[in-house]
Amino acid sequence: MRAAVIGSGNIGTDLLIKMIRGSGAVTAAAMIGIDPESDGLARARRLSVATSADGVAGLIALDEFDSIDLVFDATSAAAHHRNAAALAPYGKRIVDLTPAAIGPYVVPPVNLDEHLDAPNLNMVTCGGQATVPIVSAVSAVAPVHYAEIVASIASRSAGPGTRANIDEFTETTSRALERVGGAARGKAIIILNPAEPALLMRDTVHCLVDDCDTERVAASVRAMAESVAAYVPGYRLKQEPQFRRIREDDPLARLAGGPRTGGGARLLVSVYLEVEGAAHYLPAYAGNLDIMTSAALRTAERLAERSPAR
C-alpha cells in the first residue's frame, strides 16, 4: 500500500521513518504539513518523498494523490474532522492517530481484525494503546467492573498536538477501556511529568473484578504483553501483576457498581507497565509517541496483507 502522512510534527515524522525502515508492505508516498520549514517536511524531501505545506488541500493537489491507498492523520482531533471530511469524496482509507474517534477504536492485538473493512480506523491514544490490551487480558478471565489507568509521560514528549488533545485523551481512552477493553466502567488519567532527565512512559492499570483465579489472570496479562511487544519492542511489564482483596465495605468496592449478590470479596488487579521508544526519530523516553506510530504502522501492514498487489 502507498501511504501519505498528514502532520509533519514529531508523530508524523517518526511514522514516516518507521515506514521507510519497515517491511516494505507500506510505502511512504507523501508527507503533508502546514509549516514549510518543519523538520518533517525537510526530511521527507531529502528522502525523495513528495511533500506539501498546504495541508489536506495540498495532498489532494499532488500528482501522487490518485496512487495513494491510505492516509495517516497525525494532526489533532479538531483537524482530523476537517481532514476526514475533505478526503471522504475520494474513498481513501484513513488511519487516525488523533483522539477524534470518527471511526472505530482499534488496538492491534485486541480487535484489529474486526475492523479491517472500516474506512477510518482510530488508534485511540497512547495511553489506550498501552493499557487497553491489559484490561482486555484481565476481562478475558474475569469480568472487569471498573478499570482505571494512569499514563505518566515525559513533559518534553508532549508537543503542541498532544497538549491540544488532553481533554480528548481522557474521554477517548476511558471509552476505549469499556468498548475495546471490556470494562463496565473506565477512567483515564494522564500526567505530564516535568522531571529531568526525562523519564520513560509509565502506565498503571487497575482492574476491579470478582474473586477469580489469579494465576490465569497473570498468565493472560503476560501473554498480552508479549503480543504488544511484538510490534513495540520497548513495551514491558515492570513486575508481575499484583492482586489485593477488597471487602465490600472498602470505598473501592463502590466503583464496581454496588454490592455483590451474596457478599464476598472483590479483587483489585494492578499492572505496572513501561514503554521505551525505539528512538527512530523521537528520543527513547517518548514511548507515548512511539507506541502510537508503531500501532498505526502495524494496522496499515495488516491492511496491506489483505489488499491486492498493484
Return mean pLDDT, the chain: 94
pLDDT band at 258 (very low <50, low <70, confident <90, very high): low
Please check if 120 is assigned to a binding site.
no
Catalytic residue, chosen from 59, 74, 87, 126, is 126
pLDDT of residue 265: 65
Same fold, 2-98 and 126-285: no
pLDDT of residue 224: 98
Cα 269 from Cα 134, distance rounded (Å): 10
Name the pTM for this structure: 0.94
pLDDT at 299 over 80: yes
pLDDT in tens, 136-174: 999 999 999 999 999 999 999 987 777 887 888 899 999
Contacts by 28-31, CB closer than 8 A, 24 or more apart: 28/3, 29/2, 29/3, 29/4, 29/64, 29/67, 29/68, 30/4, 30/5, 30/59, 30/62, 30/64, 30/65, 30/68, 31/4, 31/5
pLDDT of residue 250: 77
pLDDT of residue 262: 45
| C-alpha of 281 from chain center | 18
Please check if 164 is assigned to a binding site.
yes
pLDDT band at 181 (very low <50, low <70, confident <90, very high): very high
Dmax (CA) for the chain in angstroms is 68
206: helix, coil or strand? strand
Please check if 111 is assigned to a binding site.
no
pLDDT of residue 248: 76
The answer to whether 90 and 116 are in contact (CB under 8 A) is no
| C-alpha of 241 from chain center | 22
The answer to whether 191 and 211 are in contact (CB under 8 A) is no
Q: Which three cell numbers stand for residue 230?
A: 511484538
Minimum mean pLDDT range among 75-84, 100-109, 255-264, 281-290: 255-264
- The domain segmentation of the chain, as residue ranges, is 2-98, 126-285
Residue 90 φ/ψ, nearest 5 degrees: -100, -5
pLDDT of residue 80: 96
**What is the rounded average pLDDT of the residues 93-114?**
96
Q: What is the CATH number of domain 126-285?
A: 3.30.360.10
**What is the rounded average pLDDT of the residues 272-289?**
96
pLDDT of residue 310: 53
Q: What is the CATH number of domain 2-98?
A: 3.40.50.720
Contacts for 258 with CB less than 8 Å, ≥ 6 apart: none
**What is the rounded average pLDDT of the residues 266-289?**
96
Minimum mean pLDDT range among 155-164, 172-181, 186-195, 293-302: 155-164
Please check if 163 is assigned to a binding site.
yes
pLDDT at 222 over 50: yes
pLDDT at 263 over 60: no
Please check if 264 is assigned to a binding site.
no
The answer to whether 234 and 129 are in contact (CB under 8 A) is no
Please check if 153 is assigned to a binding site.
no
pLDDT of residue 191: 95
Indicate if 207 belongs to the active site: no
Q: Using alpha carbons, list the distances in angstroms from residue 228 to 21, 225, 275.
A: 19, 5, 11
